[in-house]
Amino acid sequence: MEILECYLDYLQEGPATNAAAGAVGGAVTNPLLAAGVGLSAANLLLMGIRTYKDYFTKVARQCADLTPGEKAICMTRAKMLAKNAQLQTIKSKMNACAKTKDPQKCKGKLVTKMKSLADEVKFFSDRFKALKQKETAQAKPQPQAQPQAR
């Protein structure tokens, strides 16, 4: 009954009060969302986006003091790892679609997003490998022609 009482209080406060409260500290003010009842594909995808942003920020901080060439490699790696973390988050939330109003539609949206993220992970992975090879090729000293002994 506690959820019902919270929901009735939420309805009585009105949308302006609830919107203002939601802006403070990023807390979830909708009791249905807090209880997990208001799940939707959009909410699940939003969790994935938050995972990407948090993970990317954490990993990208390690790239701050690098040279431009190394920083490009580091940032590409950070994007690849963050997109992979987002993909894993969305995969782990796939079972939550069963609790939504339209589970098939939810799963369809998540599958579409997962395919898109898998393509992005592959792109950043290929880009990372190409940048690493380029750096390795530049780091190797060019073989010099040795004088022939007569």
Total number of domains constituting the chain: 2
20 and 86, same domain (yes or no):
no
DSSP 82-149: HHHHHHHHHHHTGGGGGGSS-HHHHHHHHHHHHHHHHHHHHHHHHHHHHHHHHHHHHHSPPPPPPPPP
Please give the pLDDT value at position 111: 92
The answer as to whether 150 is a domain residue is: no
What domain range includes position 11? 1-37
What residue has token string 């939504």? 100
Which residues neighbour 55 within 8 Å (Cβ) at sequence distance 6 or greater? 81, 82, 85, 86
133 and 74, same domain (yes or no):
yes
9 and 43, same domain (yes or no):
no
Please give the pLDDT value at position 22: 38
Please give the pLDDT value at position 53: 87
Dump pLDDT digits (tens) for 12-43.
554 433 333 333 334 444 444 444 445 677 88
What pTM value is reported for the model? Answer: 0.61
10 and 44, same domain (yes or no):
no
68 and 90, same domain (yes or no):
yes
43 and 109, same domain (yes or no):
yes
32 and 77, same domain (yes or no):
no
For the chain, what is the mean pLDDT? Answer: 75
Listed as ranges, residues in the chain with pLDDT below 50 are: 1-4, 6-8, 10-11, 14-37
The answer as to whether 44 is a domain residue is: yes
Please give the pLDDT value at position 122: 95
57 and 130, same domain (yes or no):
yes
